[in-house]
Structures are given as C-alpha cells and as structure tokens.
Amino acid sequence: MLSRFIVFRRWRWRLMMLLATLVLLGGCANTWSAKVTTFQQWPADAFTARYFIEPPKDDRSVLIFQSVADNVRVALGAVGLVEGDNTSRLVVQLDYDNPMQQEWVERYADPFYDGVYPYGSVWGGFGHFGGFGGGVVFGPRLVTVPTSIYANTLEVTIRDKANHLAEIYRVRVINKSNSDDLIQVMPYLAKAAFTDFPGLNGKTQYIKIKRNHN
C-alpha cells in the first residue's frame, strides 16, 4: 500500500506540474511584453520630414544591421514617417544587443530532483504548518533559483539636421527572454519603440503586443 501511495503521489505531482506549465504557456503565448523608455522633443514640422537610417560605425554584421533596419522602417512607416536619402532632414541611429544576465526567478520545487516535498499531508497526517492534513493538499512550494536571461535591447535615436543634429527622439526597448532570440523578437522591439509615438518625454511604460503566429 505504501509503494502504491508513493507512485500515486509522484504521478499526481507530475500531472500538476504539466497542468501548471500548460496554463503558463497558454497565458503567455499570445502576447509579448517589453519595457519602453522614451525621451523626446519632437518638432511639429518634423512629421513631414524624411528620414535616413545611418549605417553602422562599428564592425557589427552588415546583414544583421540591415535586418534590424528593415524592422525599424516598418515601424517608422506605421507612424507616418517616410524614408529618403542621406540628404534627408532626420537621421536615424540604431543600436541593439542582447547581453546575457544572471537573475533570480521563482519556480515550483520538484521533490524528486530537489529532495524537497512541497505539499502538506494527503489523506491525513501533518501538513507544513503543523496542522492535521485531513485529506487537504497544500499547493506546491515556490523556490528561488538562478537562471540565465537575455536582455533583448533596441535603442533608436533620431537627430534633426535642421537643429545642428540635436536629438529629438530617443527610445530604449528591453525585452527579457530565456533564449537567445534577438532577431526573432526584433519586429516586436521595433513596433514597441514607436507605440504612441512620439509620446511623453521621460516616460517609461510596459507595452504588450499580440504575437504573430503566422
């Protein structure tokens, strides 16, 4: 009987973990989010001015830069800005990166790998808090563990030749992911960079975008 109970308990734990994972995936799969910080002093007459994307000045891949620039072009077009040539009034500068960082995140403890039983007693016995379980199952315990996170980042700066190349728009978008997927999320980064453009000066907001599953 004891061995059957242990097998049942393990099976139930695996089922609950699977259900929890499906719930999390279902809740997160349709949206993408990022932290967006915007600074702007946008002249009213700049909306009709054409822009030019400045080529990279460092040794970064030209092909990757072109891919990033294409996504920014789509976002700029969506807010009504039109691309020109290198004589255009507005100069657009791009910077992007996805450094890996160590962060602490919460997850459910797995008693069969961590050696921790996260429940109260089942079908009687004593629970975590010293009370009699009486057939009540306590929820799984959360533990904090270190994990590697990629900070997918896009920064766009727009300068005005009509005002000695002064900055008139600067936006920084950061999306954190557990996978190295900067180019895959670049369309979302670019779209977030120009949401509610030009926005308020010095504003930080968290933007959610519906994912494209095509």
Rounded Cα distance, 60 and 64, in Å: 8
Whether the Cβ atoms of residue 73 and residue 80 lie closer than 8 Å to each other:
no
Q: Indicate if the pLDDT at residue 187 is higher than 90.
A: yes
The region of weakest confidence among 59-73, 87-101, 110-124, 195-209 is 110-124
Which amino acid belongs to residue 92? V
Beta strands in 88-165 (DSSP E): 90-97, 100-108, 142-160
Q: Indicate if the pLDDT at residue 103 is higher than 60.
A: yes
Report residue 71's pLDDT band, with 50, 70 and 90 as the boundaries. Answer: very high
Backbone angles phi, psi at 92, to 5 degrees: -105, 125
| Close Cβ partners of 54 (under 8 Å, ≥ 6 residues apart) | 91, 92, 93, 94
Whether the Cβ atoms of residue 171 and residue 113 lie closer than 8 Å to each other:
no
Report residue 76's pLDDT band, with 50, 70 and 90 as the boundaries. Answer: very high
State the burial class of residue 80 (Cβ atoms within 10 Å of its Cβ: 0-12, 13-18, 19+): exposed
Give me 132's structure tokens.
Answer: 């009699």
Condensed to tens digits (0 to 9), the pLDDT of residues 37-56 reads: 999 999 999 999 999 999 99
Entry pTM: 0.69
More confident residue, 110 or 212: 212
pLDDT the model gives residue 132: 45
pLDDT the model gives residue 123: 40
Q: Classify the C-alpha dihedral 113-116-122-124 as positive or negative.
A: positive
| Close Cβ partners of 139 (under 8 Å, ≥ 6 residues apart) | 118, 119
pLDDT the model gives residue 30: 87
More confident residue, 104 or 26: 104
